[in-house]
Structure 1
C-alpha cells in the first residue's frame, strides 16, 4: 500500500491566498481519486520558498530518506521551491529513494516522462517569478527613497511624523509623511553623541543620563540597546559627501543631493518589518526632507568607536 507525504507552505500568516487547509484538502482529493488513502502531512506556515530552511520541510526530507512514504505531493510547484537548483536537487534526492513527485495544480507526475519535463519547465518560471517580484520590490523601494519620505512606524527620538499633501503626475491629491523636529528630544540626542565620544562607553552614557534624570520619550531609562539604536541611526547625520563615501565603503546605495543640511533615512534594511537584516548592498540611504543635527565627522567617529568597542 502506498503512502503519500502532503507538503504545504504559506509564506505569511494571512487569510488571503491558498490556505494551508485548502492545500491539504486539494491534495487529499487528488490522492483519494488515485486510491491512495495513507497520508503524512507536513506544514510550514510563515516561510519563504526561496530555500529549504523550513522545519517541517527538513523533517519531510529526513522521513524520505527513511522511506516513510512513496509519493510527495503538493498543491502547486512553488509551494515546494521557487529555486531551480534547489528543486532539481530535491528531485534527485526523491529519485534515489524511489519517491515520485506530484503537483496537483500543474498536473505533474514525475513517474511519467512528460510530467518530469513539464515540471522542470515550470520550475524555471517559478524562479523567474520570484526574481521578478524581488526586482519590482526593489524598484518600488528606490522610488520611495527618492522621495525622502517617512514610511511610518515608531518615530526616532527627536522627531514626530507630520503629514504633507502633495499632487502626483496625474494631479491626484496624495498624503505623504515627513519627520518634524522635537527640539527638546533632539538636544538629548546631541548630548548622547557628545557624552559617548567623551566616555567611550554605552554603560557610562546610560549611567550619566540616569543620574541626570533624563528619560526616553516613553519615560524609561536609556538602556544600552536604546543608546545603540540612537547612535547608529542615520536619521541624525547631516548628509554630505563624507557620509556618502562612508556608506559607499559598506556597499550601501545612496540617493539624493548631499547638501550638508538635510538628514537621511534608510530603506530596505530588513526582510519585513522585524525580520533579519539584509546584506548592506541591498540597503538604500537617501537624503530626507528633515534637517540633520549631527555632523558627518561626529557620526562617523561614533560608528568607528562603536565598531572598535564591539571587538
Structure 2
C-alpha cells in the first residue's frame, strides 16, 4: 500500500489547518517559549512530510519500506546483492527529499551569514560613533528617540540611545537592558533564522508565514518575561511605551517596535500561568510532532 495519499493529507493539515488552530489558541501568550517550540516543531514536521511525500510520489507502486531500502542502498548502506540497481524513480525518490533538505539547510546558513554580515557592519559603525558605558554594559548612541536594541551573535552589543538614557528611569533602563540580554543569552537570532529559512523554501504555505510572524512576537514575549523576573510590570510597560516609536536596524532585536501594543496588553493584563497538565501535554506533542510523518508513511504492521 502506497502512503502518498495519507502523507499528502497530513502535509496539508500541518501546513494549512494547524496554523489557524494554533493562532486561535489562548495558551500561547501564557507560555511563549512553549508556543515557539510548537511552531518550530510544526515546521520540522511539515518539512519531513513534504520530503516523504516527494519520495512516495516518485515511486507510487512501492511502499515506503521499499523506498527507505532504496535510499540506504543508494547511500551504500545495504548489500548490493539484496537490492537491484536504482532506476530513475528510485533516484527521484532519493533526490527529491535530499534536495528539500539541502534547500532548507542552505537557506538557514544563508540567512545566518547574511544577518551576521549586516550586524558586523552595524557593530563597527556603532563602535565608531557611540561610547561604551560600563555602568549600563551598553553602547550609547547620540539619537533623539528613546531606543534600545541588541546586536546578537559572537560579539554581541546592546545599543541604547542617549535619549533613552535621559528619559527613562533607572528601573526602566534596567528592565529594557534585561530584555535585550535575554535575546542575546537565548540566541534568539538563530530561532528567527530558522523560520526565515523555512519561509524562504515554502513561501506559499500559511504555516511558513505565520511561523515567521509568531516566532518574532513570541521571542519578544520571552524576553519580556525575563525582564519581569527582576522588574515590575508597570516599570516594563512604561519603558516599552516610551520606546514604542523606535525601530531596530536590520539584524537587531529591540524592546520597542510594532509588537509593543500586543505585548503591553499582555504585560498589563491579568497574568495566568499555563496549567502544568497543559504545559506537559503540549511539550510532549512538540516532541512527537516531528516524528508523525514517519508513522503516517510507515504505520506499524505494514510491510
Q: TM-score category by the smaller chain? A: under 0.3
The structure richer in strand per residue is: 1
User: Rg: which structure is higher?
Assistant: 1
TM-score (norm 2): 0.24
TM-score (norm 1): 0.24
The structure richer in helix per residue is: 2
